[in-house]
Amino acid sequence: MAVALPSFLTAIMIMSRLMAFIGITRNNDMSSKLQALDIAPKLSYDPSAIESASQDFGHIVKAVPQAVLLPSSPWDIASLVNFSYSNSVPFSIAARGNSHSVNGQAMAKNGVVIDMTSMKNGNGTGIRIASDGSYADVGGQQFWIDVLNATLGLGLTPVSWTDYLYLTVGGTLSNAGISGQTFRYGPQISNVYEIDVITGTADFVTCSPNNNSDLFYAALGGLGQFGIITRARIPLEPAPKRVKWVRMLYTDFSDFTRDQELLISKNGRNDNKALNYLEGSLLLDQGSLDNWRSSFFPPQDQPKIISLITKFRIVYCLEIVKHYDGQTKTTVDKDLQQLLKGLSYLPGFMFEKDAKYEEFLNRVHSEELKLKAKGLWDVPHPWLNLFIPKSKISDFNDGVFKSTVLQRNITTGPVLVYPMNRKKWDDRMSAVIPDEEIFYTVGLLQSSGFDDWRTFEDQNKEILLFCEKAGIKVKQYLPHYTTKEGWVNHFGSKWSTFQKRKLQFDPKLLLSPGQRIFNSNQ
Ligand code: FAD
């Protein structure tokens, strides 16, 4: 079986392409069958629903589905999947969280897109907190901001976040869910006790490390390929009240990364003296000082920061957070001083803020509102997110930040650079990371005009080519490949398991076709 697997999958892929082709010619046939289903009233063919399901935050890819399902319970989803699975001409199905992908990953050309957020008003799992406060059961359609608000109401909180909270639980768990907490608590996929999944064979499965573990590990970081996550059980801890939030500036990259690595070496989950969050970013000549990640620097200090950037063209900004509450209020400053002792940031370039915990976590939203008001949010986002082994991060700085980025002089959005610890990830899951114990995430989170996004895509290609030539074994986060070879390289030693799991849980290749892993016709 192991030997026959690739050719079996190839045969299925050819079949699926053929069926997609036949499917196009049989749209009307499928629509009439769909209309006979119980869920027919929940299927929308409304042009505005179709238009919105054909786009995402990237505004680069467009793929038009035949219909949009507005489910009110997981059973509606199971019913749709079952119908497609049993049909002589199956059609593709994509769960759509908040559609904050940037390369069409939540789209389904000629298929059906499931608008997961419609379950917020239905009978699916909303947000239920265990009576002992140890976990929350959360619907896959919930936004993380809703999870934060619901848990904070009881003085509790999840521990692993994304920078931006208007993303769905199912959407981030299908990737990994990373932020400044990852070095200590692991990604969001490392912080899940149990999930409910509707597979590509329409089975409704509850899974965990001890129960249907194959599906549990497949679906976490699984890019939506194995099933639709309708519930996740997320561990909770007591919530802090406030945070000390600090940014320090560097002009020397090796000082910057050495300090980052020193700070993340203290990473015990229960080590109260460790930091709670660590990230880093580039301040660039052509970028604005306060981009959408947060307004931070005090106005009176901005002229000296700007002249530093003008002089050096790239300034590195290390960002950390330490939580505190009523009990630790009197000791937090001393603990922070202890942690920052001996660091090599530029004297006079340390800036500190004191903020409410939720204000810090929801920091991107206020910037989103400002950009929306200026019409700068719903624009193309030619993003590139990479994981880079620690041993090559300095080569990356020289070859990308100091060469490509400065020469092209087009990067305008945030550029993130921060390290994580591999041991906080679980290799049994589908998510892919570099082999080294410490690796960096680099995110070029660029915005462009509707006419010039290709220039940014060209820069992204140049960066990837540089890495290939320089032997920097990067892994893409939120990966996007257009060839099978690209995917095989991406998954590396995990590819055969990934294929095997696809065959087991979605043998007709129905789910999340917009990832273009098995359905390159999308
Ligand atoms: P969608 O884009 O709707 O879907 C993503 C993929 O998951 C698709 O393939 C879809 O079919 C599938 N999917 C969706 N829901 C489910 C489900 N319930 N079950 C199974 N599959 C499903 N990511 C980080 O890790 N850290 C960050 O700090 C971060 N910040 C971001 C900030 C912004 C402004 C944006 C736009 C994105 C950011 N992201 C970040 C990326 C984000 O996590 C991913 O793009 C994520 O997929 C978006 O979630 P979504 O709910 O919009 O998912």
| 3-state SS track over 12-39 | HHHHHHHHHHHHHHCHHHHHHHHHCCCC
For residues 430 and 498, is the Cβ–Cβ distance under 8 A? yes
The first and second tokens of residue 205, run together, are 């499965």
Residue nearest to atom 44 of ligand 1 (CA): 101
First and final CA of the chain: distance in angstroms? 28
Task: Report the alpha-carbon distance of residue 428 to residue 493 in Å, rounded.
Answer: 12
Instruction: Assess whether the C-beta atom of 420 lies below 6 angstroms from ligand 1.
Output: no
Return the ligand 1 atom nearest residue 381 CA.
Answer: 36
CA–centroid distance, 342 to ligand 1, in Å, is: 38
Give the dihedral sign, CA 359/362/367/369.
negative
Q: What is the pLDDT along the chain (522 residues), one digit of tens a residue?
A: 333 455 555 555 555 554 444 444 446 677 788 888 999 999 999 999 999 999 999 999 999 999 999 999 999 999 999 999 999 999 999 999 999 999 999 999 999 999 999 998 777 779 999 999 999 999 999 999 999 999 999 999 999 999 999 999 999 999 999 999 999 999 999 999 999 999 999 999 999 999 999 999 999 999 999 999 999 999 999 999 999 999 999 999 999 999 999 999 999 999 999 999 999 999 998 665 655 555 799 999 999 999 999 999 999 999 999 999 999 999 999 999 999 999 999 999 999 999 999 999 999 999 999 999 999 999 999 999 999 999 999 999 999 999 999 999 998 899 999 999 999 999 999 999 999 999 999 999 999 999 999 999 999 999 999 999 999 999 999 999 999 999 999 999 999 999 999 999 999 999 999 999 997 654
Confidence at residue 168, expressed as pLDDT on a 0 to 100 scale: 98
Confidence at residue 289, expressed as pLDDT on a 0 to 100 scale: 60
Q: What is the pTM of this model?
A: 0.95
- Gyration radius from the chain CA atoms: 23
The first and second tokens of residue 23, run together, are 């499917």
CA–centroid distance, 162 to ligand 1, in Å, is: 10
Return the ligand 1 atom nearest residue 187 CA.
Answer: 25
For residues 500 and 209, is the Cβ–Cβ distance under 8 A? no
* Residue type present at position 388: I
Superfamily designation of domain 242-476: FAD-linked oxidases, C-terminal domain (3.40.462.10)
Task: Write the CATH number of the domain with boundaries 127-239.
Answer: 3.30.465.10
Nearest CA to 180 among 316, 288, 329, 322? 322
Task: Report the alpha-carbon distance of residue 210 to residue 224 in Å, rounded.
Answer: 21
List beta partners, residue 386.
442, 476
Give the DSSP H/E element, type plus range, for residue 512.
none
Inter-CA distances, 283 with 247, 291, 295, 371, 439, Å = 12, 10, 13, 19, 21
Give the dihedral sign, CA 329/334/335/340.
positive
Confidence at residue 23, expressed as pLDDT on a 0 to 100 scale: 46
Point out the catalytic residue in the list 76, 194, 196, 279: 279
Nearest CA to 99 among 116, 120, 75? 116
Task: Report the alpha-carbon distance of residue 242 to residue 323 in Å, rounded.
Answer: 6
Instruction: Assess whether the C-beta atom of 170 lies below 6 angstroms from ligand 1.
Output: yes
In the chain, domain spans: 127-239, 242-476
100 is catalytic: yes
Return the ligand 1 atom nearest residue 140 CA.
Answer: 18
| CB-CB neighbours of 471 under 10 Å | 8
Instruction: Assess whether the C-beta atom of 98 lies below 6 angstroms from ligand 1.
Output: yes
| CB-CB neighbours of 399 under 10 Å | 18
CA 72 to chain centre: 25
The first and second tokens of residue 412, run together, are 């305008």
Point out the catalytic residue in the list 56, 100, 367, 506: 100
For residues 380 and 449, is the Cβ–Cβ distance under 8 A? yes
Confidence at residue 24, expressed as pLDDT on a 0 to 100 scale: 42
Point out the catalytic residue in the list 163, 194, 259, 367: 163
Q: Which of 165, 166, 174, 368 to mutate to test the pocket of ligand 1 (most atoms within 8 A of CB)?
A: 174
426 is catalytic: no
Confidence at residue 21, expressed as pLDDT on a 0 to 100 scale: 44
3-state secondary structure of 329: coil
Instruction: Assess whether the C-beta atom of 140 lies below 6 angstroms from ligand 1.
Output: yes
Q: Which of 101, 120, 362 to mutate to test the pocket of ligand 1 (most atoms within 8 A of CB)?
A: 101
- Tell me how long the chain is: 522
Identify the residue whose tokens are 């359609």. Answer: 141
Task: Report the alpha-carbon distance of residue 512 to residue 319 in Å, rounded.
Answer: 35
Instruction: Assess whether the C-beta atom of 292 lies below 6 angstroms from ligand 1.
Output: no
For residues 444 and 460, is the Cβ–Cβ distance under 8 A? yes
Nearest CA to 515 among 17, 89, 38, 104? 104
